[in-house]
Amino acid sequence: MKKMTFGDALEALKAGKKVARTGWNGKGMYLYLADGKLLTQEIGDGSYPFTDSIVMKTADNRFCIGWLASQADMLAEDWHTVE
């Protein structure tokens, strides 16, 4: 598994890949980039359109729209792509 910086992980997200950190404690967690138009169609009523957002699939099989990186996440070099 190739290790990446946060910048590399962002580029992978933009390319449509899922990414995660080796240092995360929860199993099965990863991030992906959700298309704002699709989010608006799927879960919005059109009144307030969504923007493209980083989504986290959590360890308890939920999806957190609008994940924010911590300083530790941004400085980490243990990012990798997820199949």
What is the per-residue pLDDT across 21-63, written as a single tens digit (0 to 9) for each? Answer: 998 988 899 999 999 998 888 887 778 898 999 999 999 999 9
1 pLDDT band (50/70/90 cuts)?
Answer: confident
| pLDDT attached to residue 26 | 85
Decide: 7 and 77 in contact? Cβ < 8 Å: no
Does residue 19 belong to any structural domain of this protein?
A: yes
Distance separating alpha carbons of residues 10 and 33, to the nearest angstrom: 9
First to last CA, the chain: 11
Does residue 10 belong to any structural domain of this protein?
A: yes
pTM summary value:
0.88
Does residue 1 belong to any structural domain of this protein?
A: no
Does residue 28 belong to any structural domain of this protein?
A: yes
Look at the chain and report how many structural domains it folds into. 1
Does residue 13 belong to any structural domain of this protein?
A: yes
pLDDT at 72 > cutoff 80: yes
Does residue 26 belong to any structural domain of this protein?
A: yes
